[in-house]
Chains A and B, each alone.
Chain A
Amino acid sequence: MGRKLFSWTTSGLICLSFTTSAQEIPTIETAGADSFTGVQLSQPGPWGDLEYFPIALEPPDQYVTASGHLEAKLVWHFPNKTLTEIIDLLATTGLQESDINLFTGPGHLIRTGDQISLQPPLDVVEGLSPEVRSKIYEILRQWEQNEFYAKPFPVFSSGFDLMVHESGMSPGSIDVFKKLSYRWGSAPSFSDLPILLSHAQNDHERWRIAKTVMRSEGLVVRLKLSSQSDLESIMTYWSSPTRRKNLKVFAEPLTQMPGVNTLDIVHLLPPTPRKLLYTYASPLMGIGSTFPDCFWTAFNFFAFEPSNRYLDTTSHRTFLTDEKWERATLPPRFGDVIIVTDGETGEPMHACNFIADDIVFTKNGRSLLRPFVFMKLENVLKNYLKSRRSEVFFYRLKSEDTETVE
């Protein structure tokens, strides 16, 4: 079991501050040793004894096709930069002068109006040292036009081997995938889909590469029950605060059977997260081009029908100060909203819901390619603790707003 990010033993309002280094660890370590360790156990708590194991989720085929990533080309955008400025920028990364000349030379430099972009040769980029690539990517990600660098594909925190297991990729492609993966902050990441796709031996593998890179990790979490379980206490934890569903009826039979049995906690979730768990948002859930994100997901946790008011991105601060939510006191409870803010600006960066121990319910980003999942909080935070200082707050639905939902 991994190191606990938080300890819930202190008291008072919950606000946790983190200071992170902007330095990147160039490559991911060889993963795999922890990928197939089977079922792991949570810390016991009022939630009972939980066990969990990682799963890999793939977006539906039509989403992969619609993403356009299958045809992605390696293009580096430098908005509003002159050629001289671009050359100077590349020179700061340790890129050799010959490569700079190659990248900015005929056939690789593209002018669109007064904008310049580069299409460097795939094999040359693949051959760059991790340190150089890391520095180049740090430059590229400041512009959102460089989608794969600004928002790289997350590589599984729970292990690279898990991510590529039964993926249909050739061993050679898997090696390239692993070699080009890197850490952004502490988050294992991948940006070089066009290079990886060029290694596909055929169209099928090309398809499998795209689907694999777009995989997301999640956890299956199950409650362990036996005749010794204190069912009343455990169900009290999972029933709060807005539930009218009699959760005990699901668990009780398992306590009457021989041995230890498990109940998937999907049955203990309120209706909306139960519906969404392990799924990808439907385009029909959006308003215009705005689709459900972490805030929509977190604030709708207890709602029977999700409110699209939470699609209004300008209102995140409002949600935290409106009449429905209040700052939570320790210990955290089932469904509490966890808010990650930029310590400098106070701007909310991410939200998710506390489930139990260090497990949360989350949707990491607005993209339709990111599913609703259970994750360990520390793995979620790896993707958001990238600013110099971050803070984590807990919010709880006020008791007067806890109308029954199911």
Chain B
Amino acid sequence: MIRSAAALPLPVLSFTMSTASFRRLSLLLLASALGGSTDLFPTMLQGQESAVPNAPIFKNLKPGPWGDLESYPVFLQAPEAALKLLPSPSQQTVWRFFGTTRDEVSALFQKFFPDPDLYREATVRSVWYLTPEEVRVHPTDRMVLALPPLARLELMQTLGKYEENPFHYNPLVIEGQDVRAWFAGTGLSEPVLAAIEATSFPFRNGRILTEVSYALSKVDDEIEEANFLRAMTRNRSLFLRLRLTSHDTLAPLLDYWSQNIRLKETQPIMESIIRTPGVERLDLTHILPPTARKYLYTFPTTAEGINGIFPNSLWTSLNFFEFSPKVRYNSPDKAAEQLQSHFERVLPPFRYGDVITLVEPTTGKLLHSCIFIADNVVYSKNNSSMLTPWVLQTDADMMTHLTRITEFQVVGWRHTST
């Protein structure tokens, strides 16, 4: 079992995300951990400015043992069948504080709203409900708009501990800094876009919107509300293509991509590409193992929850090479057992198929995992929600989605049969 840092004798990469810039802090820690190495995780955490939905373009990944890979972004939105299961949120903003007192919440507001008039509005003019379990606050629109970015981050971390605050627990993630580019083509009106711009805040490689109710209050009609809910599920994924031009370069590529037990042989397919005039690229989907290929770019169906649990990141990573997925890998304990018994820890540079885990530094608890593909691209499912797809994405985009993970250590694992 992964239980503590002491149980992790190999060097691990530690990161802390406070209210400071995650990217900057991560790089500092990373430089310390790796002596300034520029291997995977420096790439992973330095982030990249996001491509925008209206500018599809093939982009080359950094060359490496994976060969010449090119990518273009695709933007996934949950299917209508899943959206129908999503209850429309209220347009009234509610902040629910648990395990705290009115005075403590007031103190927090004093920090958030240094302006005396705003503080008065927060503590006197807004509606509060007090119960022994919680302090429930209905902030005014002015309060919602006035929160500075650092306060929004702190509020997300405070309220996001509880599922009762659904959009602090699972906020809307904008992969990139340009709100209008991200929502291009979604049918959202200017007032809604302006509301999102005003209330979202920078976070890692993108922006976060927790005040969904406020933005929703700006929609014109039911059609725009439906568009808004649909746009909330937008995820950026990558299409990858491997360039294959010569038999001379095939051997190292086969060595890299032919990991673990496979039910198809990669070599004849690659050779077929090289042999065929006019064809130079192989969709990377064909190299992925069957289960990963089946789920890639899809959202879970209700059928996948038939056992009572929807697939999460651990399920996704540990089933990557499994032909028939095992439900038990959803459990952090079972996943850790599997890692300990069938995998060995590895340091960067990682290779195709390695399981990258993020673990809680003090307890060793598994927080998240993904599969290393190449360069800075991972295969991941960022939570167990039906509205979260299986994607190929940059590790920077993945980290933007992991809003509840603040301090973590990175541990890489490689299957012992590799």
Contacts and interface: CB of A to CB of B under 8 A. Distances in A.
Interface stretch (A245-253, A354-362, A393-401): A245-253
B79 A278 contact: no
Contacts of B131: none
B74 A278 contact: no
Q: How large is the interface on B (under 10, 10 to 19, 20 to 34, 35 or more residues)?
A: 35 or more
B290 A279 contact: yes
Interface stretch (A49-57, A70-78, A141-149): A49-57
A39 B279 contact: yes
Contacts of A60: 262-265
Most A Cβ at <10 Å: residue of B263, B267, B271, B285? B263
B75 interface: yes
Interface string A280-320: 11101100000000000000000011000000000000000
A166 B254 CA distance: 15
B283 A266 contact: yes
B293 A266 contact: yes
Interface residues of A, number: 50
A256 B80 contact: no
Given A266-B293, A278-B264, A39 B276 contact: yes
Interface stretch (A94-102, A118-126, A128-136, A267-275): A267-275
A162 B275 CA distance: 9
Contacts of B293: 266, 274-275
Interface stretch (B20-28, B296-304, B344-352, B371-379): B296-304
Contacts of A246: 76-77, 79
Interface string A246-265: 10011011101100000010
A305 B57 CA distance: 35
B385 to A, nearest CB: 16
B280 to A, nearest CB: 11
A79 to B, nearest CB: 35
Contacts of A245: 79, 297-298
Nearest to A264: B283
A250 B247 contact: no
A55 B268 contact: yes
Contacts of B299: 406
Contact of B264 (A36, A250, A279): A279
Contact of B271 (A165, A244, A275, A305): A165
A266 B285 contact: yes
A58 B272 CA distance: 12
Given A55-B269, A166-B247, A257-B58, A38 B278 contact: yes
A223 B82 CA distance: 28
A166 B265 CA distance: 14
Nearest to A273: B294
Contacts of A252: 56
Contacts of A254: 56, 72
Contacts of A56: 268, 271-272
B286 interface: yes
A149 B72 CA distance: 49
B269 to A, nearest CB: 6
Given A257-B58, A271-B298, A405-B301, A249 B272 contact: no
B324 interface: yes
Contact of A244 (B79, B247, B264, B273): B79
Nearest to B237: A249
Interface in B278-323: 278-279, 283, 285-286, 290-291, 293-295, 297-299, 301, 303, 323
A386 interface: no
Interface string B243-271: 00001000000000000001111011101
A280 B262 CA distance: 9
B80 A53 contact: no
Most B Cβ at <10 Å: residue of A38, A246, A266, A277? A246
Given A39-B276, A55-B268, A304-B301, A404 B286 contact: no
B240 to A, nearest CB: 11
A245 B268 CA distance: 30
A256 B298 contact: no
Contact of A53 (B76, B276, B290, B298): B276
Contact of A282 (B72, B79, B263, B294): B263
Contact of A58 (B56, B268, B285, B298): B268
B206 interface: no
Contact of A249 (B76, B276, B277): B76
B301 A276 contact: no
Contacts of A282: 263, 323-324
B7 interface: no
B391 to A, nearest CB: 12
Contacts of A266: 283, 285-286, 293
B295 to A, nearest CB: 8
A155 to B, nearest CB: 16
A152 interface: no
A215 B264 CA distance: 11
Contacts of A58: 265, 267-268
A335 interface: no
Nearest to B55: A256
B239 interface: yes
Interface in A214-265: 215, 220, 244-246, 249-250, 252-254, 256-257, 264
B353 interface: no
A220 B301 contact: no
B255 to A, nearest CB: 15
Contacts of B58: 257
Contacts of A285: 323
A371 B264 contact: yes
A223 B114 CA distance: 59
Contacts of A54: 272, 276
30 contacts: A36-B276, A55-B268, A55-B269, A60-B263, A165-B271, A166-B275, A215-B268, A220-B273, A245-B298, A246-B76, A246-B77, A246-B79, A253-B56, A257-B56, A257-B72, A264-B285, A264-B286, A274-B293, A275-B290, A275-B294, A278-B286, A279-B264, A282-B263, A282-B324, A284-B323, A285-B323, A304-B303, A404-B81, A404-B301, A405-B301
Interface of A: 36-39, 53-61, 162, 165-166, 215, 220, 244-246, 249-250, 252-254, 256-257, 264, 266-267, 271-272, 274-282, 284-285, 304-305, 371, 404-406
Given A165-B271, A165-B275, A284-B324, 16 more contacts: A37-B277, A245-B297, A246-B76, A246-B77, A249-B75, A253-B239, A257-B56, A266-B283, A266-B285, A274-B293, A275-B291, A277-B286, A282-B323, A282-B324, A284-B323, A305-B303
Interface of B: 56-58, 72-77, 79-82, 239, 247, 262-265, 267-269, 271-273, 275-279, 283, 285-286, 290-291, 293-295, 297-299, 301, 303, 323-324
